[in-house]
Chain A
Amino acid sequence: MSARQVARTYRGARAAAGPLVYVGAAQRAALGEWVTLKAKGQPPLRGQVIDAGRDLSVVQVLEDTLGLEPAGVEIELTGELAHAVVGKDLLGRALSGAQDPRDGQPRPIGEAIRPLWGAPLNPTQRLPPSDFIETGISAIDGMNTLVRGQKLPVFSGPGLPALELAATIVENARAPRGEPFAVVFCAIGITERETRTFLDRFAASGALERSVLYLNQAQDPTIERLLAPRAALACAEHLAFVHGLHVLVVLADITHYCEALREVAAAREEVPGRRGYPGYMYTDLASLFERAGVVKGKPGSVTQLPILTMPDDDITHPIPDLTGYITEGQVVLSRELHRRGVFPPVDVLPSLSRLMNAGIGKGRTVPEHRKWADQLYALYARGREARMMVAIVGEAGLSPSDRRALALAEAFERELVNQGTHRRTIAETLETGWRLMDRVPREDLIKLSDELLATRPSQRAEAQRKEA
């Protein structure tokens, strides 16, 4: 809308169904225009135009439409587009998905408004992300390194401690050089208990005044779930690119977001794609996940840590599948490790950080980081294969090297992955890995050169003496 329009009011909707209200002949309705619906004796409802037509326009209503009477409702087209109020004064505040205060304080004034839907960041203005973030978690720092400006989702399953992991990362992931940081947490349809899990840990670390919370919980209006992450990201962009903060955005849970998207698509009787999710879900998710990055000439960054629950632990389900195609890797949690009491239960094999190479190596972590990770990964993968084989042929049927790999895989899970809530520096993580590798003979370390191993001769000799 190039020029703001004046507000126009109509009486009576043509039809209403679920979250949608159909309005006849709304003059000069604009796509995305903000609408207020007023009915006698009821609080006003908010919505926006998702289909503008000369004969019929469709309004998607945020709040529950229970008891709405289409014929009597008063419809005001406000002439405004949905926007987010953003500013540094939001730090320390808790808002709803529709940006109403949730902490009993007055509505924040903000410094600026940004369009809720954002605009694509010009790819030529992006700086390739390359700043290492030390999360304190070995399975991430060592094997799947997170960098600033990345979007790295956690693929979780029902009942797995994804939020605990996110809380641990947020607690630990302070900027390495003491640069200013902020956290934006957006709850999307998660329960009160889950929200508490995250916030209690977070409050204990004293980082609450450096954070903005957008809370749409399970009992809150479904359609609001489509707006909450956008408000959160608009705020994050402002803090990062106007105030130069390094912003970590936690979105939990993307699965609830996708379900809200499906609900609206079904109400509009759209042609469904896989498992009833709309065909444009990839594009829609991309409009969230792509709002991460680093901009040339701007000091801040937006890093995203979305959490999603894989229905039935199925990684090929459309939600994790489409997410994986957009995000820069994934951290996958394993039910088996969780059962064995491993925390964090990160399954290193299917996990991946696409930007890892940019964040590690000389001047960032250590020059041999890549080789270290490749070798450990290869040994662990081999051990996991051997574990599968044991189930068929028994341990006696394994070759000696497979038996060694199996033992190493167990040690890897027990010692490197399983660290509890204790924070490890990158140096500690690397040392833990070297100690694991010290226990296997030279011939198994096919990815490491003699020169590299020569830097650790004494430890190797000692470890192998003990082993013998």
Chain B
Amino acid sequence: MSASSERSAPKLTRVVGALAEATGMREAKLNELVRIGDGGLLAEVLRITGDRATLQVFEETMGVALEEPVAREGEPLSIELGPGLLGSVIDGIGRPLSELAALTGDFILPGASAPTLDKTKRVTFTPGLVEGIAVHEGDVLGTVVERGGFEHRILVPPGRQGQVTKFFGGERALSEPIATLADGSSLFLTQRWAVRRPRPIAGRKDASRPFLTGQRVFDFLFPIAEGGTVAVPGGFGTGKTVIEQSLAKYAEADVVVYIGCGERGNEMAEVLHEFARLKDPRHGRPVLDRTVLVVNTSNMPVAARESSVYLGLTIAEYFRDQGYRAAVMADSLSRWAEALREIGSRLQEMPGEEGYPTYLASRAAKLHERAGRVTCLGGPQREGSVTLISAVSPPGGDFSEPVTQSCLRVAGALWALDPELAHQRQFPAVDWHTSYSLYAEAMGQAFDASCDPGWSKARAEIVELLQRDGELREVASVVGPEALEDKDRLLLTAASIAREVVLGQSAFDPNDAYSPPAKTFRLARAALELFEAGKAAITKGAGYADLDLAQARRALAMMRDAPATELDARAAEVSQRIATLWRGGAS
């Protein structure tokens, strides 16, 4: 090839699936964005060999032809961060879906480009510092109050510093500067960040505060910490998505980033519809106002599925840096891993287990390490966190597969979902025998201090009850339940009640979809008291059949489903039923 043709304009030499190759790319950088074809489809450089580059394309490549042009963008895949992100719905490369609808109609067509934030939008900026002050990276310059009263803190971007010569407070467009520095440069309301690069922090902190989910089985049995990570594997129909959604609605977080990665379109439509309608139980604001939705459904391009997870994490980190508690719900990481596999296989990389690329585990680890509780960069002193809850969809429900295993090696907790429980309509279908939380002990202590000193003890008792239940049920399956001793039959019933009213929780019951820790504790305590009362009665000579467990069980179920205002009255009824559990014992 002559020197002149080497310097010729970049052109496509191959198009296959989500992959393309181009020549004339000697000066390209790894991970640099490019626009390919006559339609200007967004793509990213994966490999450079001399003059040739291999690209992964974030949009549908059908119809892209050889020799079509390639244009370099000069920067890696980045996202614009700033006021207006909350409540927005963007795709895996940061384009607002409503803007895309305005551009290409009901169906998404390739080649459309739309900025994440509307730069013409005007917001009110209130400087928090005085002119003349020296600012450093991460410093809070001032605030913008967003819809629903959320205080958006405007930060000095990482890597920038200087003396502020002037602030521009009041109503500003996102495109206008809000401050000028002594070196003549300007600071804006928005900043760009490359999504694959973790945002810098001042330091990491311990996981010591519980991340309240409002779901009893998690808060009580398998609690996670703020800044923690949990993997939620489960076969189809085990309720992963319902759990992710319940957490997005009710978990105690200031900001929720919900990543629908390779999942169903109708589901995302429902999330949008519901989040706009539902009120956050603590602030009474629509859940959508604290949420950013990153949506890349299963029929949208596969490469954007891979990037959507990094995009979501970057947004969460940005709010963390403002000093907020952000939570990321990723549904599901299996689709992210499959995107890696699909692209790896097109690159003809040497496959690892089940065809996944050999770097699956290290990528999964890096991704999980972006969660954490941190001391933020800059002043004033503040801390923030990113908690990561990732659904995993193991083929055939088999947890030994590479994606589940890669996540488990780095996640701090496992909420294992079991199809058997789902078939019994025990929801959330969390298998209490295989699930675990490495934060359990520390969080138990935190609940002892914040909710009730008996929390850890009650948890230990419920865990033991479930443990014994598992053993006894094995025996009962051989000899039949009738052949068991009365106290063992009582235990089986008590465990069944605990499963129903403590662990079981309907995501669709308006009174019970969210359970504050106090209610969780009272229900657990009541179930244990019922068991104790039954044991005492049997010791005094009662038979299993003499106990009126059915009435007590119904009273407990009513307590569980009662509105908050009636909880005390229902709890009194339960106590009454427990006191009269053995009618013969009244004498």
Contacts and interface: CB of A to CB of B under 8 A. Distances in A.
B66 A446 contact: no
Contacts of B480: 389, 392-394, 396-398
Interface string B362-401: 0000000000000000000000000000000101111000
Interface size class of B (residues with CB under 8 A): 35 or more
A276 to B, nearest CB: 11
A124 interface: yes
Contacts of A349: 423
A381 B425 CA distance: 9
Contacts of B338: 279-280, 282-283
A359 interface: no
Contacts of A318: 395-396
Contacts of A295: 106
A32 B66 contact: no
A33 B68 CA distance: 15
Contacts of B104: 122
Given A5-B65, A30-B15, A124 B37 contact: no
Interface size class of A (residues with CB under 8 A): 35 or more
Given A293-B269, A321-B236, 19 more contacts: A53-B14, A55-B13, A81-B62, A121-B106, A122-B107, A123-B269, A129-B266, A271-B355, A273-B354, A286-B298, A290-B265, A290-B297, A318-B396, A322-B395, A325-B236, A349-B423, A398-B482, A443-B550, A446-B554
Interface in B268-316: 268-270, 272-273, 295, 297-300, 302
A344 B299 CA distance: 32
A131 to B, nearest CB: 13
B299 A126 contact: no
Interface in A22-79: 26-33, 50-55
Contacts of A273: 341, 354-355
Interface in A276-297: 279-280, 282-283, 286-287, 290-293, 295-296
Nearest to A129: B266
B273 A128 contact: yes
B266 A3 contact: no
A404 to B, nearest CB: 13
B299 A291 contact: yes
B129 interface: no
B108 A120 contact: yes
A120 B107 contact: yes
Contacts of A291: 299
A53 B299 contact: no
Given A124-B89, A272-B355, A117 B62 contact: yes
A241 interface: yes
A374 interface: yes
A81 B435 CA distance: 50
Interface string A124-156: 111111000000000000000000011000000
Nearest to B480: A397
Nearest to A450: B554
B106 A279 contact: no
A52 B66 contact: yes
A402 B481 contact: yes
Contacts of A292: 266
B62 A115 contact: yes
Contacts of A120: 107-108, 265, 297, 299-300
7 contacts: A27-B67, A32-B62, A121-B106, A273-B354, A291-B299, A292-B266, A398-B481
Interface in A76-94: 81
B108 A122 contact: yes
A50 B260 CA distance: 29
B194 interface: no
Residue in B63, B295, B355, B396 with the greatest tally of chain A CB atoms within 10 Å: B63
Interface stretch (A190-198, A244-252, A255-263, A350-358): A350-358
Contact of B101 (A125, A298, A328, A397): A125
A121 B266 CA distance: 10
B37 to A, nearest CB: 7
A124 B273 CA distance: 9
Nearest to A274: B395
A2 interface: yes
Nearest to B351: A271
Contacts of A149: 266
B337 to A, nearest CB: 10
Contact of B295 (A28, A123, A290): A123
Contacts, number: 231
B355 A279 contact: yes
B482 A397 contact: yes
Nearest to B109: A119
B342 interface: yes
B273 A51 contact: no
B71 interface: no
A450 to B, nearest CB: 9
Contacts of B477: 389, 392-393
B151 to A, nearest CB: 27
A316 interface: yes
Contacts of A293: 265-266, 269
A329 interface: yes
Contacts of B341: 273, 279
Contact of A30 (B65, B267, B479, B550): B65
A447 to B, nearest CB: 8
Contacts of A241: 106
A126 B268 contact: yes
Contacts of B351: 271
A110 to B, nearest CB: 19
Given A121-B265, A128-B266, A324-B236, A399 B557 contact: no
Contacts of B295: 123
A322 B236 CA distance: 9
Interface in A284-320: 286-287, 290-293, 295-296, 298, 316-318
A175 interface: no
A321 B396 contact: yes
A2 B550 contact: no
Given A30-B15, A122-B107, A325-B236, A290 B66 contact: no
B249 to A, nearest CB: 15
Given A30-B64, A397-B483, A283 B423 contact: no
A463 interface: no
B13 A53 contact: yes
A49 B8 CA distance: 27
Contacts of A402: 481
B121 interface: no
A270 interface: yes
B60 interface: yes
A52 B508 CA distance: 50
B424 A381 contact: yes
Residue in A2, A3, A283, A328 with the greatest tally of chain B CB atoms within 10 Å: A283
